[in-house]
Structure formats: structure tokens, C-alpha cells
Amino acid sequence: MKDNRLINGLPVKKRIIQEVKDYTSKVADMPRLVSVLVGDTPEADVYVRNQARGAEQAGLPFEQLRWPADISQNECKQRILAMNDDPSILGIILQRPLPEHIHVRSLQSAIHPLKDVEGMNPASIGNIVYSDVTLAPCTAAASVELVKETGLTLQGLEVVMIGHSEIVGKPAAMMLMAEGCTVTVCHHMTRSVAMHSRRADVVVVAVGKAHLVGPDMIKPGAAVIDIGINQIETADGPKIVGDVDTDAVKEVAGWVSPVPGGVGPVTVAILMRNAMVAHQRQLAAGWL
């Protein structure tokens, strides 16, 4: 039986993917997305498979590159700069984690903002301050998409963002402010997270601590968006859970996004939508 308190990300993903496919079906020679893996990173392989599947569904060509683990920082940067100049490449996806000798932010900065389909270039994140959210970090944008899925009017909503990472918490908070929400950001130095979260209409959580948020932290009827992904050991073996104790919280909240099946599928779809926006902007810039 369907539980209407759970915000299922799959229908949202399908809707966004269809929107992109409707666009790509009208483009005669669509350039490709390029995924870059550095070294042997099995934890990233799942993401790459999901991205490749999403690209296929959206009608976007997808190429996977795997560079050697001992490649130098400078060589990585030179290859990315060459891809920036290649009109047959629509967007560059830099998979993480990267080897320790590779400086992630430097490579993210090397990806041209018009090819930054992940929204990770500091310029892309900076644009959010000016309410330009069309090429935002995918996970942050997916969380906002799920808030909209509740049907709540975002203008004037009290939102508490738990977690303030540069690629999820901070951009999600700024995107929600761009929608007219009043946002409070909590972090590891916040004295009482529960004091803030209990008054919120929407709680968004991205910390990386299994079941951090329980029902005592949520206002009755609130929406709870869980971005966390954690592996825990159970009697039945390893299990993926979020930062929210979903089963307990859904008895109090009006809506809860599950893990898995909530933000994750939508994140892949946002990547494809960002690719569509990148194509539109590259056309407008005379690149294609």
C-alpha cells in the first residue's frame, strides 16, 4: 500500500528526464557528456552507471573516461582545459573521490562554467547568490525539487537546513532563499539543532550521520528532506539509511523523503536537466 507521507523521487526523476528528452529529440547533433574517473574508485562506479542510464533515457550521448591513479594534477588540468575547447563535449562530470594528490577544487575550477553540468565550479555556486540557480549543484537542486513536490508554497516558508557543506548545505540554503523561504542553517557548532528544527515548516538534512533526526526534532505536519547516505550494519547485513529516522519521523511529519529512493534519483535527473541548460547556454554563446 502506498504511503503518501513518503516523497517518492522516481516520478520526479521521470518527469524531468522526459522534459530533457523532449528537448534532445529536436537536436540533430547533440554533443556528449564526459565522465572522468581517476584511478580505481569502485564507490564511484554506481554513480557512473546511474548517470549513464539517465543520459541514455534523456537522449544524451555519454562517454566514460578512466585516467590512471598516478596522473599528475597538471596533466588532469590540461586534459580538462582541452575538453573545454572541444565543441563535441557538452559537459564534464568529475567523479569523486579523487586520489589524495589531486586537488579537487582546482579541477572543479578548471571546468568552464558553461560545461559545468554538476554545478561545482565556484562560479556556478557563486551565481546562486544572485538567484541564478539554473546550473546549481545537483543534490542541492534535487532537495529543492522535492520540497516543491509537497505542493507547499515556498514563499515565506520557515526552513531549517541541517548541514552547511559547500556543495550541498550552503547552495541548498541559498536556493531556498531564492524561492522566498526564510532559512536557518544549523551546523556542528549550533547549540540546539532541535530548538530550530522544531519550529520549521521544512527541515532539510545533509550531515552524514545515520538517524540523526528523530521525531522529537520535527514539528507536526512539517516536510523533511533527507539528503544523507549512510551504511549501517544490521542483523540482515549492511543497509543504506539516511540522516533521518524515517519510520519514526513519518508518524509526525507531513512528508518525508526516503533513503534510498528520494533525493538520489532526482539528483541524476537534475544532472540531465543541467546538461540541457548547458546546451542552451552554449548555443546562445555561439559555441555550437
**Which DSSP string corresponds to 91-128?**
EEEE-S---TTS-HHHHHHHS-GGG-TT--SHHHHHHH
With 0.85 as the threshold, say if the pTM is over it: yes
What's the CATH code of the domain at 46?
A: 3.40.50.10860
Domain that includes residue 247, residue range = 138-265
Q: Are residues 177 and 101 in the same domain?
A: no
Predicted pLDDT of residue 1: 67
Q: Are residues 176 and 102 in the same domain?
A: no
Answer whether residue 68 is part of any domain: yes
Number of domains into which the chain is organized = 2
Q: Are residues 78 and 160 in the same domain?
A: no
Q: Are residues 142 and 223 in the same domain?
A: yes
| H/E element, 193 | helix 193-197
Answer whether residue 10 is part of any domain: no
Is 103 a residue whose pLDDT tops 90?
Answer: yes
Using alpha carbons, select from 188, 183, 252, 259 the residue that is nearest to residue 214: 252
The C-alpha atoms of residue 183 and residue 194 are separated, in whole angstroms, by 15
pLDDT digit string, tens, across residues 130-163? 999 989 999 999 999 999 999 999 999 999 999 9
Q: Are residues 156 and 237 in the same domain?
A: yes
The C-alpha atoms of residue 7 and residue 10 are separated, in whole angstroms, by 9
Q: Are residues 260 and 150 in the same domain?
A: yes
Rounded to 5°, angle at Cα 268 from 94 and 138: 65
Residue 25: what residue type? S
